[in-house]
Each structure stands twice: as C-alpha cells, then as structure tokens.
Amino acid sequence: MDVLTTTPFGQRPVTAGLMERAALAQRPPQVPHSDKWELFRELTTARLAYGVTDRDLTVLNALLSFHPDKNLSDNASLIVFPSNRSLAERAHGMAESTLRRHLVALVRAGIIARHDSPNGKRYAARDRAGEVTRAFGFDLRPLLVQAGQIAQAAQAARDAAERLRRLREDVSLLKRDAAKLAAWGAETGQGGDWSAVEADLLDQHRAFRRKLSAEALEELRGRAQAVLKTVQEKLCKSDNMSGSDVQNERHLSNSKPEDPDLELCSEETKGEAPNLPLAVVLKACPDILPYAGDQIRHWHQLVGVAATVRGMMGISPGAWEEAQRVMGAPVAAVTVAGILQRVDQIKSPGGYLRALTRQAQDHAFSPGPMIMALLRSR
C-alpha cells in the first residue's frame, strides 16, 4: 500500500521535525518483522529515552490493538484508522481532548506517524476482495523502523536500573554494618563517644529515603564507607577488643606499626574483606579459637582454620568452595565461624551455608548482623 501524503490536515504547519520524522518512517527497518507487544514492552522500559509518559503509552497500546496481526511487518499495511470514540474506549475512557494531546506526544517522539486524508477523517478504501488499498490514520511503521534502537535503549535502561539497585544495596549494607557495629560499641563502652557517628548515620538515612541519582548514590556510598571505616578504627583502638579471654590480657594500645596485635583489627587482604574488625569476629566466635594452632592475627589464618572446622561440621568441600567463590574467602570464613558458634542450634550446617551463599549471590547477606547477634548473646 502506497503512502500518499506526509503533510498535515488543517491548520497544522509543516515543520523541519515533521519532515525528518517522515523520512525516518520510510527508512527500511533493521528487522522485517517484530512482535508488536514485545516491542511495546521494550518501549515501556525505554520510555524515558523517548520522552513519553505512561499515559502516552496507554494510547499507543490502544492503537496497537487496532492492528490485526501479532507482528508489525514491513510488507503489510501498518496504518490504523480508529475513530476517536473507538480509540477512547480502548484507552480506558480517556477524554477526547486528552487523547489528542497524547497522540501529538507520540508523533513528536517519532513513534507513530500521521497520514491525514483530504478531509482529516480516518478511513480505509478496500478492493473487491476486501483488502485495504489506501488508508488514512496513524502509521505504526516508525515503531518497526526503530525496533533495534528501542531494544538498545531498553537494555540501557535496565542496566541503569540495575546499577541503581546495586548502589542502593551497597549503601544499605554499609549503613547497616556501621550502625550495628556502632550500637554495639556504644552499648559496651568501646571507643569513647559515638554521638558523631550516630548523627552522620542519621543524616545518611534521611538522604537515603529520597529518590537519588546514580551519582548521588555513589557519593552516599563513599560517605557510608567512610563512616564504617571510622567505626572500625574506633573499635580497633579499644583495649577490650581481643578475641578471647586469654587475649584480653594483651592490650592493643601499642602504637608501633610493626606490633602484630594491631593486625587483629585491620589487615590489607586480597579479595572481599569483611566490613568487620578481625578482633570483633574472634570475640563473637571464640569456639573457633581452640582449633587454631596459633593465635589468629590475619584473615588468611581464619580462612585456614575455617577450612578445617567446616569438615567437622559436615560442610562439604563443594559448599565451602562455592561460599568462598561467591562471598570471598574472608567473608566465607567469618560465616563458618558464626555457624560453628551456633552449631548446636543448626540442623544442617552445610545446607545453612549454601542458603547463606545464595543470599550473598543476590546481595542479601552480610555477616555483620550475625556477628553482632552473637556478641549480644555473649
């Protein structure tokens, strides 16, 4: 079916944008056929890139329902010609003036094109066999022509949404670890005055409740990391942070960098290090200490001891390896230490570790709350 006209009916003028959109609509599509509803879903995801609203898409959905085929095809007529009344009915009873406004928005976005008849009415002429030979109405071909670009924009929107989700998760976990460690420090009198930390966390919480951009979330994540580091340093400087009753006799007040006991609190580790001082973990999980051949001063020593005790608890090598791969070896070791501390309450330590590993894979698990709960119970 030939397209006879690109100029609008009535008082609407010809513009450069109109001519550009008309040329775009006549370009060959990258794909000859596309499922109209799948394309609609992709456009819904990419709507911000095209500057259309949910209400605009409601009208587009109604227009697509007038196209008889499931697919938009380059070799078929893609002009639909419903009356305003019929279109309004399928657009959930939308008022005609509102309907016109959303149709204009779809045309401006280059998603549909308008083909006006001599009198401005929408209709189709058919041959004796009932086939449409000429139609005046709204052309869906621009949607087909831009199918590739729409898919790319939709994927970009999904990637951006995933980035935001990950950033919000990061900030939430960092704030949670900082808040629970700070609460424990304040409750047990560790590290002195915690009021500044609590005020900073409260300010972050207020900011986090708003809808933030990726850049703002990046900034907030940096703040949360800084607060968590401050909390860890406060706990590390405390004289009451050794990992067992024997270690309580050894103070961490020596400020020499080469003092090995300082490594109970901070250590540069390769991979994913827990957001916890090592000394806090050892204080919360003293049951792992008898299995160590020597005093645990480094994360890699804790990993080695955890690798030993996991077999005694019935945790398979596969479950242990998967936990290390997903969580990072130090975090997996902290988790095993926590399981050992509560092993009399856990029916299947191996199954429990696998469940926590799945949660960690979905960014829904951090060992901080587990360690804090153990500290409180002690």
Domain map of the chain by residue range?
16-145, 163-238, 242-378
Write down the pLDDT at residue 12.
56
Strand partners, 72: 34
Write down the pLDDT at residue 301.
92
pLDDT tens column, 34-56: 999 999 999 999 999 999 999 99
Residues 6 or more apart in contact with residue 367 via CB below 8 angstroms: 274, 276, 331, 334, 335, 338
Alpha carbons 374 and 355: distance in angstroms, whole number: 19
Burial (CB < 10 A; 0-12, 13-18, 19+), residue 228, is buried
Mean pLDDT, the chain, rounded, equals 81
Alpha carbons 139 and 2: distance in angstroms, whole number: 12
Radius of gyration of the chain (CA): 32
Write down the pLDDT at residue 61.
95
More confident residue, 221 or 132: 221
* Residue 256 tokens, joined: 């020499």
Alpha carbons 148 and 330: distance in angstroms, whole number: 44
Write down the pLDDT at residue 126.
74
Alpha carbons 250 and 296: distance in angstroms, whole number: 14
* pTM of structure: 0.60
Task: Kindly indicate whether the domain formed by 16-145 is annotated with CATH number 1.10.3680.
Answer: no
Q: Which of 149-158, 344-353, 366-375 has the highest mean pLDDT?
A: 149-158
Instruction: Please check the confidence at residue 245 and state whether its pLDDT lies above 50.
Output: no
* Residue 110 three-state SS: coil
The crossing angle, in degrees rounded to 10, of helices 349-361 and 329-341 is 140
